[in-house]
Amino acid sequence: MDCQDGIDPVAHEGDGVVTLPVPAREHLVVIGNGMAGCRAVEEILARDGGRYRITILGAEPRVNYNRIMLSPVLAGEKSFDDIVINDAAWYADNAIDLVSGDPAMAINRAAKTVVTRQGRTIGYDKLLIATGSDPFIIPVPGKDLPGVISFRDMDDVDTMLAAAAQGGSAVVIGGGLLGLEAAHGLTLRGMKVTVIHLMDTLMERQLDEAAGWLLKNALEARGQTILTGANTEAILGTDKVEGVRLKDGREIPASLVVMAVGIRPATALAREAGLAVGRGIVVDDHMVTSDPDVLAVGECVEHDGQVYGLVAPLWDMCRSLADGLTERHSGYRGSVTSTKLKVAGLDVFSAGDFSGGEGCEDIVLRDAARGIYKRVVVRDDRVIGAVLYGDTADGGWYFDLLKRGEDIGAIRDMLIFGQAFAAGGGALDPKAAVAALSDDAEVCGCNGVSKGQVVSCIAKGAHSLDAVRATCKASASCGSCTGLVESLLALTLGDEVEAGPKTMCKCTSFTHDDVRREIVAQDMRSIPEVMHKLNWASPEGCASCRPALNYYLLCALPGEYKDDQRSRFVNERLHANIQKDGTYSVVPRMWGGLTNPRELRAIADVVEKYDAPMVKVTGGQRLDIFGIRKEDLPAVWADLNAAGMVSGHAYGKSLRTVKTCVGSQWCRFGTQDSTGLGVRIEQMTWGSWMPHKFKIAASGCPRNCAEATIKDFGVVCVDSGYELHVGGNGGIHVRVTDLLCKVATEQEALDYCAAFIQLYREEARYLERTAPWVARVGVDYVKSRIVEDDAGREALRGRFLFSQQFMQDDPWARRAAGEDADLHQHMAEVRPVEYVA
Amino acid sequence: MTQYSQTGTWLDIGPVDQIPQGRARTLPVRGGVEIAVFHTMDNQFYALANQCPHKQGPLSQGIVHGSVVTCPLHNWNISLKTGKALGEDEGCVPTIPLKVEAGRLFLLREAVVPAPAKAAA
């Protein structure tokens, strides 16, 4: 390559320091032939082309190319030549010396030289470090096997293409942008791809839970297997990679493993040279390091505590650097980043802060039919963040509003519909915009209802949202046009709009009944899916709707739905009752209230061993051990399990206890074996999750010592059989049961009990006890389903027993065996020096 | 609330993957107040004193939604970012400056460790 001064500044191996004649110009040496290094050089050349003599050192044996475009190369959409930014002619035209395929190994700041792997020693006046970042390799066994690669440079792409040519399976570790792009490319190249992602949400740094769920669904529809919440334990294989084993024991065969779990700034050179290095190489506003003659730019730097991994901030840095080096001080002020990308042909955009919180309001638009999710985060009438999925056309506009900090108060109501709508025709009042719609305009896309039809339906007496939904069906499906229908109600009726039934919570315009019906009708399978398809107004729901949705899904999909622990109240998550001091009480199950010396000894031992301050007999005929710390719960349960006892579910919206009297076995008035019946009922019903707590009692005669007539389900034995009572409870509003019917045999009592519980499980609203439920629907309705409809009762009973086979699995035993240990153990303990003695 | 300088000593409390998303874990402090460290669904980490300003309920045991935790005792909603009670309720719980670096969590020591007892001084 031509050298400006007629001197080869690139020494040959073993030559030692090359002594140059006093150069006419200062020598700028750039370590890194990547996007940042070359862009910085371009910016410098553009400002003052003759100022520096420039040498660029590159580790790869190639000219400068666009690393971001490796994905299209992998996918077969582009060739290497297409993604070259600066070809050999550029280096020649600008008299730049390119030393490629020979990485810099050391910087000697005293001598102002750089030494390369091949032994070249190059002197500099100004040094620019643009080493970028290194892929992070997770330290698992097998990480060094042939066939385990990262996705960082052209060599990686070549390896992937060679593997894909052989067909077979690939595993991509990491469900971030890079990992998903690798997975997409490998899928297009014909490999069977599994993506393993540690977090529960794909691309969790760019997307919120809802958008991540949409992305996961779409990728699965394209044939990829996506495992979220999956932790890699080891990479398998002897001579080359053969598969991946997860911490949960699953093994996935693969002939190629791509690690794309993240990058870290490549700072080793700078650190060894004694430059200030934090997370990245520390630079000032002009990208100058702690040595005034050494600069750094790109992914390897840390500016004002921030490290950047996207291309836009990098361009900003290069401008500031070039301004500084050519004495036009502007200074880098940090960058607000946005991400707009296409993953497997799916549009995704995010910008700013979308973690929500104090003073932030979320404006959410979900259009399930078109697969669109938009969320704009607003604080003090300023856009501070946005997440878009499916339709990212307005991403640039939101990003612009965000960067300029523009007051969006005036267009707030229309903000979410995008720039065209918000700016359109000066119709700044949403009501005016609705009024301006023609009668033919479609209001509800799901049910094909026009504005005219909605208005006429309102005129005919549908004076509430619910009434409109019931009559013309507008907004009755996905609910995304609820706002429009409400505007039409307000326009047509003025103040006469009737408030509808209570919605589930502030996150939705739907009622509990609506949500349940749609979960079943649309076969929804996860909480994010429900929130998306029913247009939830908050991204993750709240502490009211999450537990309700979790229950509805659990009830609708026995054996299939994976219980979401994060949507459980503390008692159901910790399988014990939290007390006011943060300790827990533990109630082991005693079937029908019966116990024996072995159980009593085990309980007594636990009380002593864990120093429980109180033991109490409960109203449901159990023993309650108080004052157990959450860390001790698994050990307590292990001790109780060892004596044959399981969880008493005294903490759950579930079957609590079956209370009994001693019945015909001992009592001189007893008519039937109420104790035995109680035990059998409890064995049938324990472990089932319900809308609310559920208590049962069986009394051996009408004296009713077990108080069966204030229970959710009560049996009162009589000479001729069993009276079955439903819908009672104690509590604030005591309600005595309604008599359901009388049956002749114990088996019938059990069958009717199972059917009644299932009817309650399927139809009551979450947190509605049987008492208000029976009062609401009427005992006659319950009779019509349980007593008068034999086939229906059998079906209900069958569904209950089917569900029970998955529920009767002692949660205490699983915890005692180590499941969810993080819920119990402290992550660490802080012992300040003055306390360690 | 006490303002802490961000330039103090940072205590390494371990790798981020100790806390599953949407959950919290506890960190007892000898001679001080137990800390709850949260990992939200959108992958943010926060540390707060593990006691609700209302009746000292263990916030670490609440349901996390967005950057809010609902106290398990009486359903107060507490902002994980500011420690302030949201909605109609009023109160504030101390927050502890936290940073994530190289996959590990760090808490500002000055905010974690109680000042030495005055008697010793």
pLDDT value for A273: 93
Confidence of residue B5 (pLDDT cuts 50, 70, 90): low
Alpha carbons A588 and A596: distance in angstroms, whole number: 13
Please list the residue range(s) of chain A that carry CATH number 3.30.390.30.
Answer: 338-428
8 Å CB contact between A55 and A28: yes
Beta strands per DSSP E along A683-737:
694-699, 713-718, 721-726
Chain A nearest-CA residue for B55: A580
Please list the residue range(s) of chain A that carry CATH number 1.10.10.1100.
Answer: 433-562
Six token digits for residue A802: 């089917």
CATH annotation of A26-134+265-325: 3.50.50.60
Taking residue A89's Cβ as centre, other Cβ atoms within 10 Å add up to 9
pLDDT value for B119: 43
> Is A827 in contact with B32 (Cβ distance < 8 A)?
no
Please list the residue range(s) of chain A that carry CATH number 3.90.480.10.
Answer: 570-652
Domain ranges of chain B: 19-111
- The strand order across the sheet containing B23-27 reads B23-27, B35-39, B45-49, B95-96
Assign A477 to helix, strand or coil.
coil
| Helices marked H in A370-511 | 395-404, 412-415, 419-423, 430-435, 451-459, 465-471, 482-493
CATH annotation of A570-652: 3.90.480.10
Q: Which CATH number fits domain A655-811: 3.30.870.10, 3.40.190.10, 3.30.413.10, 3.40.50.300?
A: 3.30.413.10
> Is B63 in contact with A543 (Cβ distance < 8 A)?
yes
Question: Which chain B residues contact residue A832 at CB under 8 A?
Answer: 29-32, 113-114
pLDDT value for A755: 98
Question: Which chain B residues contact residue A355 at CB under 8 A?
Answer: 40, 42, 44, 66-67
8 Å CB contact between A640 and A602: yes
Question: Which chain B residues contact residue A354 at CB under 8 A?
Answer: 42
Chain B nearest-CA residue for A542: B65
Could you say which residues from 3 to 32 on chain B have a Cβ atom under 8 Å away from some Cβ of chain A? Answer: 11, 13-14, 17-23, 25-32
Alpha carbons B47 and A281: distance in angstroms, whole number: 28
Six token digits for residue A436: 């301006």
> Is B57 in contact with A208 (Cβ distance < 8 A)?
no
Using CB atoms, which residue from B63, B70, B113 is nearest to A832? B113
Phi, psi (rounded to 5 degrees) for A493: -110, -15
pLDDT value for A445: 67
8 Å CB contact between A728 and A735: yes
**CA A82 from centroid of its chain's CA atoms:** 37
CATH annotation of A338-428: 3.30.390.30
Chain A nearest-CA residue for B16: A827
| Helices marked H in A494-593 | 512-521, 527-533, 545-556, 570-574
pLDDT value for A606: 96
Would you call A722 exposed, middle or buried from its count of C-beta atoms within 10 A (0-12, 13-18, 19+)?
buried
Residue contacts between A and B (CB atoms, under 8 Å): 149
Write out pLDDT tens, residues A481-532: 777 888 888 888 877 777 666 788 888 888 999 999 999 999 999 999 999 8
Alpha carbons B6 and A99: distance in angstroms, whole number: 42
Taking residue A818's Cβ as centre, other Cβ atoms within 10 Å add up to 9
ipTM > 0.95? Answer: no
Question: CB-based contact (8 Å) between A357 and chain B?
Answer: yes
pLDDT value for A364: 82
Class of domain B19-111: mainly beta
Encoded amino acid at A8, one letter: D
Could you say which residues from 605 to 664 on chain A have a Cβ atom under 8 Å away from some Cβ of chain B? Answer: 630
Alpha carbons A152 and A164: distance in angstroms, whole number: 17
Give chain A's residues under pLDDT 70. Answer: 1-24, 329, 336-345, 355-358, 420, 422-433, 445-446, 477-480, 499-501, 833-837
Phi, psi (rounded to 5 degrees) for A271: -65, -45
Please list the residue range(s) of chain A that carry CATH number 3.30.413.10.
Answer: 655-811
Write out pLDDT tens, residues A176-185: 888 988 998 8
Q: Which fold has domain A433-562?
A: Arc Repressor Mutant, subunit A (1.10.10)
Chain A nearest-CA residue for B99: A305
The secondary structure element, H or E, covering residue A100 is: strand A96-100
